[in-house]
Amino acid sequence: MFLHLGRDIVVPVKNIISIIDVESVKNLKDGKAFLKTAEEEGFVHKISDEKVKSCVITENVEISHGGKEKVVKTIIYYSPISSITLQRRANFIDEIHGIK
């Protein structure tokens, strides 16, 4: 299943590592440093120009050409949708499939 993060961005639920409230991260010294480093390294994708309410950390494992190497790509999405709403959507998807 997929989770809509805002605008035209959807990600597979299985790729989501964490959904974090951006204000709680920014209030921590290490949180600020983490986000700054992630932005500098090019891991951040801002979904829209609206106020950022949550960070969604994702990882996608891809098989390289030839099928011998696995490459892990990390993307942190800055979403205008609150972390609570995204979590509810993700749980709703689980409930539809009887996972919980």
Residue 6: its H or E element:
strand 2-6
Q: Residue 40 pLDDT more than 60?
A: yes
Q: Of 93, 17, 84, 88, which is closest to residue 56 (Cα–Cα)?
A: 17
Q: Residue 61 pLDDT more than 90?
A: no
User: What value does the CA radius of gyration of the chain take, rounded to a whole number of Å?
Assistant: 15
Q: Which residue range is the domain that position 6 belongs to?
A: 2-96
Q: Residue 83 pLDDT more than 80?
A: yes
pLDDT-wise least confident of 2-6, 23-27, 54-58: 23-27
Average pLDDT over residues 65-80: 88
Q: What is the pLDDT of residue 37?
A: 94
Q: Of 18, 2, 3, 6, which is closest to residue 50 (Cα–Cα)?
A: 6
- Work out how many domains the chain is built from and give that number: 1
Q: Which pTM value belongs to this model?
A: 0.83
